[in-house]
Amino acid sequence: MAFKALVALIALAAIAGTDAAITKRVACPDGQHTATNAACCPLFAVRDDIQQNLFHNECGEEAHESLRLTFHDAVAFGAGKQGGGADGSIITFSDIETKFHANDGIDDIVEAQKPFIAKHNMTAGDFIQFAGAVGLSNCPGSPQLSFLLGRPPAKVPAADGLVPEPFDSVEMIIDRLADAGQFQDFEVVWLLSAHTVAAADRVDPTVPGTPFDSTPNLFDTQFFLETQLRGTTFPGRGGNHGEVMSALKGEMRLQSDHLMARDSRTNCEWQSFVNDQEKLVETFPTVMIKLSTIGQDTANMIDCTEVIPIPDPLPKNRQSATFPAGHSNKDIEQGCAETPFPTLPTDPGPATSIKAVPLNS
């Protein structure tokens, strides 16, 4: 497939200059682990601590919010803009950055992560990206994300207005991400794969924890399918800035996702993910390593990917995308005119209704 070659090229470019030449393994002081670089050894204890005491070994709210935090910290960067990208400034200067409108609600995960940063003496920039990768590993179907160690402490807070919002236009989002990290149109879609394990607390505060697809604890392609279904209902009171109607009871649809799925610049790439788990798993690590090193000198960083757990595969009954019960191809608002929409089975039973993601799991 053509995208595989592209993924390989981008990945090689993203990690060029990293400390990948070290191949001899060293014994870690804990007597349990080995690593390709001794600097990675302390991360095993950090991983075990946050798995048990932050994520509770679950693909729950803390894992979802930690992944969100990787984006909100890193993308606040651009030509002539104040901020160091993926430098942890959103935690170091939390009294400033959590007050930005785009960061509404992110203060909960910021405060939850602070004690672990202090305990393990990591820079906030490193911890944010490490926690995002570890948290995602709890979501079956997800890829193992790369992690590079070595972000220096943030020196200044990021400027306001640099994190895209759900009510922004497709053009605004594409331009902002191009400025932040030279992301191309199709890479913006790749980044939004994160919404397959996501929920909204503040878009409609009357229904916190409302997921963006019917399988918020699985890293699968349902998100790309369900955002193309014709919207008919709101999960809560409706009429919220940045929200449009969803097809499923209990599901939140962001206006920006709705538009990306239908815009001529992104709709075919969006549709290409429907029922293509292989592509989902191959592209997300590629775009995440690019995101996680915005503003950083990768030549001075150490590859500690081996510390990130290898996620479980999707359950056998969720290996393929399916239309939620009560829906079929006739409910699709297809934006891509280049290729037919995939033919998929429909789940049996009554119309699908989705439960909220439990808060503070």
Among 347, 349, 340, 343, residue whose Cα is nearest residue 329:
343
Q: Which alpha helices (H) appear in 253-340, and where do they start and end?
A: 255-260, 267-272, 277-292
The pLDDT > 90 percentage for the chain reads: 89
What is the Rg, in whole angstroms, of the alpha carbon atoms belonging to the chain?
A: 20
pLDDT tens digit string along 76-131? Answer: 999 888 888 999 999 999 999 999 999 999 999 999 999 999 999 999 999 999 99
Task: Look at residue 21 and tell me whether its pLDDT is greater than 60.
Answer: no
Q: In the chain, what are the helix, strand and coil shares in percent, each to the nearest 5?
A: 40, 5, 50
Q: Are 170 and 259 in contact (CB under 8 A)?
A: yes
| Pairing, β 34-35 against β 253-254 | unpaired
Q: Residues with catalytic annotation?
A: 72
Give the pairing of strands 199-200 and 210-211. Answer: antiparallel
Identify each DSSP E strand in the chain by its residue range.
Answer: 26-27, 34-35, 148-149, 199-200, 210-211, 243-244, 253-254, 302-303
**Is-above-0.85 flag for pTM?**
yes
Q: Rounded to an integer, what is the distance from CA 148 to the centroid of its chain?
A: 17
Confidence of residue 150 (pLDDT cuts 50, 70, 90): very high
Return the SS3 of 5.
Answer: helix
With beta carbons less than 8 A apart as the criterion, state whether 319 and 344 touch: no
Phi, psi of 229 (to 5 degrees): -75, 145
Q: State the average pLDDT for the chain.
A: 94
Dihedral pair phi/psi, residue 99, rounded to 5°: -85, -10
What pLDDT shows up at residue 283? 98
* 302: pLDDT strictly greater than 90: yes
- Structure-token pair, residue 89: 């400034």
